[in-house]
Structure 1
Amino acid sequence: MPNPYLILVLSVVIGLMLPIAWFSPFSHGFRRVTGLIYLALTLGLVGYPFFTTVYYLATDPGLRRAEPSEFAFSLHRSLSSKLPDYIDRRIKSKVASTLGPYQITATESPVYGAFFYLQATERLQEQWKLNPSLAKESPAATGAAAIDASLRIMLDGDHSYWVRDYWGEDYLTEPNCFYRMLLVGCITSHHKLTKVTTHLPLLGATVDDLVADIDASPSGLIDDYPGQCFPADVACCIATIQSASGVLGEDRKAWATKALERMMSNFTEGLPPYTADSTSGRPQSPSRGCTNGFFFTYSSKLLPSSSAVWYQKYADEFWQE
């Protein structure tokens, strides 16, 4: 859907350009007035963002050091105000049920985005509890509607349409690592933020089945889609299982640590490849910097010592000035 604010600005600019081109040769006063209008537009569209950025850089220590940032909470409030409407329109449109499995951005991004939003909100909520001065209201309060909407799109049947194309109607009990990883992460974060228990039976069943699939795999890897295994997603899946276990009243920390160790034992070079064969564990493509960044978000919690060694290799081989 086109941005109405952008359309308004373009309309004003074009609307001003036409009379300027017509009248400016005859009226110095007209040129001065239109010049002031363009100055105001420049200050609004360029000056305001610039000075806002300078303000946050000057006043927010979290943007200069490794500590919580007030700007992150401001950005979260802004995003939270926009998400519910987008999600409701997306679900109502049923466009997801018209997409094929190879339209990757259109199929994966809406639920992937919901997963990241809920994970980020959970982390911000933890930071706010430790330091309420970071924001006037908690992220769980300011994002309440977006939190519910994010789980709603994750559970929406149309938004699993492309997964069913791959795995069939039993997609929740097939290996299906990527989608079920997102499902587990979304339900877990939603429960932690809202205390709603409605979806815990689904969470428990999905976790149990994922654990069984990972344990049954000869390599500790499972496929996102048939014949397509992405080790970084498996690492994230293991971490989300460990997080969900606390919600379910279980303790799978030892299992998760062992599962990640077993998975990484396939990769003698120390970094997970972009893709691998889930049966043999053999890498099918080189390691990629983009997926490594995602990988370390989760590996560092389960294997901190090993992750430090892997991260040094990542920094040496993928960091570019």
Structure 2
Amino acid sequence: MPTSSSSPPPPTDRAPRADRLARWALAFLALLALLTAIELFLAPAALVVRDLNDPALAGPGIPRRALALHESLSARLAPWARERIRSGEAAHAPLHDVPTTEWPIFTCVFYLQATAALQAEGVDIGYARESVEAARDLLMDPSHHTWVRTHWGDDYLHDRNVFFRSLLISGLTEYQAITGDARRAAFLRDQVETLAADLDASAHGVLEDYPGETYPIDVLAAVAYIRRADAVLGTDHSAFAQRARRAFLPPYTDDHDLVRFRVDLRPGSPAPVQPGRGIGNSWVGIYAPELWPADAERWYGTHERLFWQDRGWAAGFREYEAGSGHGEWTFEIDAGPILDGFGTSASAFGVGAARRMGRFDHAYPLSAQMVATGWPTLDGGLRFPRLFSHPAAPFLGEAAILQFLTTQPAEGMPVTAGGRLPALVGVALGVMLLGFLLALLGSLRLRRRWRWPYRHPRRALAVVLGGGAAVVILGFAAPFAGYGVLLLVLFIGAPPRRRRSPARRGPPPGGSDRPRASA
């Protein structure tokens, strides 16, 4: 008698069609994985290698990284600045919250300084006009003056307030140098003349940034900004600059003859609060060479002797002098993260200082580390400075790096070449290449090893299409979340290769698949 067969019926036409569609979706997901890996890992590695071989990164000139970063930042800064002005949110920033008060202003000043430096080197910056105007408008926006008005009252533009007034002077000076627009010249002239007069008339050559807080390093930068303003106003404050030098000589310097980071004026004479620190020494190194070259060389020499360190895995400037009792692994609002003694801000500002001093034996390894760990993007930006910046000033890190990379040696400064690449650069490149390799292998594994079952093709298709949609949507909203979903789909969602059943494996070698007749 015939027996009923337990084998499943042959698949319908609908199942093969759904299976083919699912395989196309699978191929799309594998291709998406490969393209994402190229964008996230391989392209940054190639950009880093290109930058490391740029003569202008290891010597005078404008590095290609600075040109790409400026174009990228110029496309993003104007919409951000316009939205901040429109929203008026700066008027409600907490009074003592530095990131939400200072940093948006600082972003615009760094951007204008870098743009003016590029133009001075013959770069056509016509594409940046909208962002240049937006940066100027944010500097002059009344809501962005709320915090200093609260500190100093309605006369905040003429009563101490050194840091804020100096930023206005620098930003407006660079704006006028870029555009030739002198409509704000009267305001700029007033700030230059009154701040110079206030510093000249002060008992010790320094004034407060905020009530009870005096930072000589900011006063030194203010003197440099006043001298730079002479070029666009037609004024001459050279005599003032020479008189201002008194504030940075003994007895006002620290035990190593460095410019003090902070002093207290309330006792009547500048009482020490903090000695020279990494970020302050590097900040001084950017501006001192154009004021007092001999002092600048002495200060930088001491900075190198006491704060420069090479640990093998990284090289850079310490935030605090070794043995001072400060933590080697900590965080501070001005210094940023301190890692193995390295000050991240001290080393970043150190790029500008080293380039200004002509010390490319320091500038090259510092710049190489900064670019490699910054993780360049195809749009010319730097991913990690953008990712870790404060929401109120999302472009501060990139704007600061741009300003440092466009800094040129001061006139008369000898140029010292050299500098080795620290291991950190190789580690960063290794992470990029390893990430690309893992994503590539995952893509191939997904494409070759996933065998779609005929029993539930719609469910399988929904998994792939849903995963692909999540990658795309999250990729726009939060890139790293999208990449995380992608890797999850690749390495967890892909099941191992299914083994063929014995019935479908075919006859054994040298044998037949027909049953033998019994003897």
TM-score of the superposed pair, with normalisation by structure 1: 0.84
Paired residue secondary structure (1:227): coil
CA deviation profile, 1:243-274 (whole Å, cap 9, x unmatched)? 11232221112321331244334115321121
Deviating runs (4+, > 4 A) in structure 1?
27-33
Contact (CA 8 Å) 2:248, 2:259: kept in 1 or not? no
Higher helix share: 1
Cα distance change on mapping 1:306 and 1:28 into 2, 3 Å: same
Find the counterpart in structure 2 of residue 283 from structure 1.
Answer: 272
Does residue 270 (structure 1) correspond to residue 257 (structure 2)? The answer is yes
Does residue 66 (structure 1) correspond to residue 60 (structure 2)? The answer is yes
Does residue 104 (structure 1) correspond to residue 98 (structure 2)? The answer is yes
Find the counterpart in structure 1 of residue 83 from structure 2.
Answer: 89
Cα distance change on mapping 1:107 and 1:262 into 2, 3 Å: closer
Aligned runs of 1:1-321 on 2, under 5 Å? 34-58=29-53, 60-128=54-122, 138-139=124-125, 141-265=126-250, 266-267=252-253, 269-278=256-265, 279-321=268-310
Task: State the Cα distance separating 1:95 from its structure 2 match.
Answer: 0.6
What amino acid does structure 2 have at the position aligned with 1:272?
V
Paired residue secondary structure (1:243): helix
Determine the C-alpha separation between the residues in 2 that align with 1:65 and 1:194: 28
Q: Which moved more, 1:260-269 or 1:304-313?
A: 260-269
Task: State the Cα distance separating 1:37 from its structure 2 match.
Answer: 2.7
Determine the C-alpha separation between the residues in 1 that align with 2:245 and 2:137: 30
Task: State the Cα distance separating 1:33 from its structure 2 match.
Answer: 5.0
Determine the C-alpha separation between the residues in 2 that align with 1:147 and 1:261: 36
- What's the C-alpha RMSD, in Å, of the aligned pairs? 2.0
Task: State the Cα distance separating 1:209 from its structure 2 match.
Answer: 1.1
Contact (CA 8 Å) 2:205, 2:246: kept in 1 or not? no
CA deviation profile, 1:144-190 (whole Å, cap 9, x unmatched)? 11111111100000001000110011101101101100011111111
Percent same amino acid at aligned positions?
32
Which of these two proteins has the greater Rg computed from alpha carbons? 2
Paired residue secondary structure (1:196): coil
User: Unaligned regions of 5+ residues in structure 1, if any?
Assistant: 1-22, 129-134
Contact (CA 8 Å) 1:238, 1:260: kept in 2 or not? no
Cα distance change on mapping 1:171 and 1:33 into 2, 3 Å: closer
Cα distance change on mapping 1:154 and 1:264 into 2, 3 Å: farther
Contact (CA 8 Å) 2:241, 2:291: kept in 1 or not? yes
CA deviation profile, 1:287-317 (whole Å, cap 9, x unmatched)? 1101211111111111111110110100111
Higher strand share: 2
What amino acid does structure 1 have at the position aligned with 2:37?
T
Paired residue secondary structure (2:262): coil
| Structure with larger RCO (C-alpha < 8 A, sep 6+) | 2
Contact (CA 8 Å) 1:232, 1:291: kept in 2 or not? yes
CA deviation profile, 1:4-63 (whole Å, cap 9, x unmatched)? xxxxxxxxxxxxxxxxxxx99xx88865553333122211222222223323333x3112
What amino acid does structure 2 have at the position aligned with 1:286?
P
Contact (CA 8 Å) 2:71, 2:128: kept in 1 or not? yes
User: Unaligned regions of 5+ residues in structure 2, if any?
Assistant: 1-17, 311-519
Cα distance change on mapping 1:196 and 1:222 into 2, 3 Å: same
Cα distance change on mapping 1:36 and 1:230 into 2, 3 Å: same
Aligned residue pair count: 287
Q: Which moved more, 1:28-37 or 1:170-179?
A: 28-37
Contact (CA 8 Å) 2:94, 2:100: kept in 1 or not? no
